[in-house]
Amino acid sequence: MKNNSKKEEAMAKEKNRFSKKIVIKNKRASFEYELLDKYVAGIVLQGTEVKSIRTGKAQLQDAYCYFSKGELWIKNMHIATYAQGNIYNHPETRERKLLLQRKELNKLMKRNEKGLTIIPIHLFTNERGLIKLQIALAKGKKLYDKRQSIKERDLEREMARTKL
């Protein structure tokens, strides 16, 4: 009896270890771009980068993705140095490789034509505790599109206020 309860406690601790969800969003992405397709990609990280992301110290605002030799890379993604990292710390804005299946990469390469770009939308942890990056194939908005987005957002706020 006591043995089973210890095992259950150990399993509960293991579950709770990754229960804290980390979500870092690129808030400007939906305002600046029209999002066409979304993909979830793995990302190759060093140990201090993972610890820094788990504390919420990453930014996606200026980041973008590009292809090099058939592989997808992310550039300008800022991950702050880890405070206890000492000599093993990482460079803050190094290029990082994204992990997608080959058919997804081929699909993105075909659609990555003039006027389209691949941008990160948000960084999160999945149920297994792995850090994932949601990327989107996007088309830049014109000024009048941005004005339309602002108008729609204001209307939604006004509707919410009148309901209360």
Spans in the chain with pLDDT lower than 70: 1-20
Task: Give pTM, 2 decimals.
Answer: 0.74
Of the candidates 13, 45, 15, which has an alpha carbon nearest to the alpha carbon of residue 131?
45
pLDDT of 42 reads 93
pLDDT of 3 reads 58
Q: Is residue 68 part of a domain?
A: yes
Q: Is residue 110 part of a domain?
A: yes
Q: Is residue 36 part of a domain?
A: yes
Domain, as residue range, for 51? 20-163
* CATH code of residue 80: 2.40.280.10
pLDDT of 73 reads 94
For the chain, the domain total comes to 1
pLDDT of 6 reads 63
pLDDT of 100 reads 92
pLDDT of 31 reads 81
pLDDT of 44 reads 92
Would you say 112 and 138 are in contact if contact means Cβ atoms under 8 Å apart? no
- Where in the chain does DSSP place strands (E)? 23-25, 33-43, 58-59, 64-68, 71-75, 78-79, 96-99, 116-125, 131-140
Q: Is residue 9 part of a domain?
A: no
Q: Is residue 8 part of a domain?
A: no
Q: Is residue 99 part of a domain?
A: yes
Q: Is residue 78 part of a domain?
A: yes
Q: Is residue 12 part of a domain?
A: no
